[in-house]
Amino acid sequence: MSLSFDLVPGTVRTSVQRRREILRDPGFVTHFSDHMASAQWSSQAGWTDSRVTNYEPWTMSPGSAVFHYAQEIFEGLKIYRHEDSSIWLFRPEMNARRMIRSAHRMDLPQLPEEDFLASVHALARVDHEWVPSGSEMSYYLRPFMIADESFLGVHSAKQARYAVVGGPAAPYLADGLTPVDIWVTTTYSRAGNGGTGAAKCGGNYASSLLVQREAATFGCSQVLFTDAADHEWVEELGGMNFFAVTADGMVVTPPTSGTILDGITRDSILTLAPALGLTPQVRPLSLSELIASILGGNIVEAFACGTAAVVTPIGRLLHTKGEEVETVALASPLGEATRAIRRALVDIQWGRADDVHGWMHQVVV
Ligand SMILES: *Cc1c(COP(=O)(O)O)cnc(C)c1O
């Protein structure tokens, strides 16, 4: 039986005036909207207690499994307001399916695709007034799941909570078009073979923070990770996939194969590329090839991509070469291909271009 996420009676709403104030300058989800969707799971009863309530604190036992063994997974997707004021989701079934894969890897219960979609639609419907209008503005949804039984033994989840929270979001990185510098780490790894790199789990992010701080000391805002075994193969950033663009119009990204998160933005870009006169190429890309090709003029653009920041152009890569740090600048930091890809994607998301792939799902309010 599928779950229904009904609004419980008696919830309270932020005043219109205060909401407008927040929507004017929302930052990246610095305010959560009035409601949240949630459900409980136990190994005996399965999924129960699905509902939409006020966004409010939870009471949890300090012994809850998630606090001790990081049994947590999450998703991220946006609600886009179109010119005619209707609101839309972008490929939400991909998030639902990925959450099932993440749940499998982290031994958490799987929330059926239709229930994931019902929860997301329910919150979108109830809090539709929190979806901003205006270019590049959206409402960011954060579905997540934790194991919450109070038990200090290590075992697969016997009790779990699922919830969707969210709030209005301005572009994740300032204007989204200023090229960023990237620190290439060959010391730390994000994921190893057989590890959790393909799961969207909080632990992957926790382990990236120290490296992120190291990157900041070199003036870099993001980290590019290489493979854990040899630090020779380009993988992805802490929370975004990586693409390089060659002078002859290839858009190259490494295969996901277990250590790289299967990004929905990445997949969409691979699908959109041919119509833009670009050739998608999924193949291993070594760090030495990347550096040599940038220096030799064969790789001219590079960008990172993900739901939050969409497409972020890369200006320079910094990496250690012997004892030194070498800075390698892309020839066209905000090149034509990067701009065309970004434009094609955001035009579909904000309803300015034909949705030929059937990616947009309207939220009926
Ligand atoms: C979420 C995420 C991405 C981007 O995925 P999208 O589905 O495009 O938002 C890329 N890499 C990692 C590690 C992520 O967690």
Question: Helix or strand or coil: residue 47?
Answer: strand
Burial category of 343 from C-beta neighbours within 10 Å (exposed 0-12, middle 13-18, buried 19 and up)? middle
Ligand 1 centroid, distance to 318 Cα (angstroms):
22
Q: Whose CA is nearest to atom 10 of ligand 1?
A: 240
Q: Could you tell me if residue 358 is inside a domain?
A: no
- Side chain identity, residue 118: A
Residues 133, 351 contacting (CB under 8 angstroms): no
Are residues 324 and 287 both part of a single domain? yes
Tens digits of residue pLDDT in 346-363? 999 999 999 999 999 999
Ligand 1 centroid, distance to 323 Cα (angstroms):
32
Tens digits of residue pLDDT in 61-72? 999 999 999 999
Q: Could you tell me if residue 364 is inside a domain?
A: no
Domain enclosing residue 104, as ranges: 6-169
Tens digits of residue pLDDT in 95-110? 999 999 999 999 999 9
Q: Could you tell me if residue 229 is inside a domain?
A: yes
Confidence (pLDDT) at 29: 95
Task: Indicate the pLDDT class of residue 47, thresholds 50, 70 and 90.
Answer: very high
Ligand 1 centroid, distance to 253 Cα (angstroms):
14
Are residues 51 and 132 both part of a single domain? yes
Residue 281 has pLDDT above 80, yes or no: yes
Ligand 1 centroid, distance to 232 Cα (angstroms):
21
Last residue in a domain, options 169, 201, 220:
169
Q: What is the CATH number of the domain that holds 19?
A: 3.30.470.10
Task: Indicate the pLDDT class of residue 172, thresholds 50, 70 and 90.
Answer: confident
Are residues 154 and 289 both part of a single domain? no
Q: Whose CA is nearest to atom 13 of ligand 1?
A: 239
Confidence (pLDDT) at 81: 98
Are residues 143 and 195 both part of a single domain? no
Task: Indicate the pLDDT class of residue 1, thresholds 50, 70 and 90.
Answer: confident
Task: Indicate the pLDDT class of residue 257, thresholds 50, 70 and 90.
Answer: confident
Residues 234, 287 contacting (CB under 8 angstroms): yes
Ligand 1 centroid, distance to 264 Cα (angstroms):
7
Q: Could you tell me if residue 88 is inside a domain?
A: yes
Q: Could you tell me if residue 297 is inside a domain?
A: yes
Q: Mean pLDDT throughout 197-203?
A: 97
Which residues approach ligand 1 with their CB closer than 6 A? 76, 200, 236, 239-241, 261, 263-266, 306-307
Confidence (pLDDT) at 153: 87
Which atom of ligand 1 sits closest to the CA of residue 76? Answer: 9
Q: Could you tell me if residue 238 is inside a domain?
A: yes
Q: What is the CATH number of the domain that holds 197?
A: 3.20.10.10
Are residues 94 and 15 both part of a single domain? yes
Q: How many CB atoms lie within 10 A of CB 286?
A: 16
CA-CA distance, 147 to 71, in Å (whole number)? 6
Are residues 135 and 253 both part of a single domain? no
Q: Could you tell me if residue 354 is inside a domain?
A: no
The tally of domains found in the chain comes to 2
Q: Whose CA is nearest to atom 14 of ligand 1?
A: 239
Are residues 195 and 164 both part of a single domain? no
Are residues 210 and 163 both part of a single domain? no
Residue 235 has pLDDT above 80, yes or no: yes
Last residue in a domain, options 137, 169, 201:
169
Q: Could you tell me if residue 41 is inside a domain?
A: yes
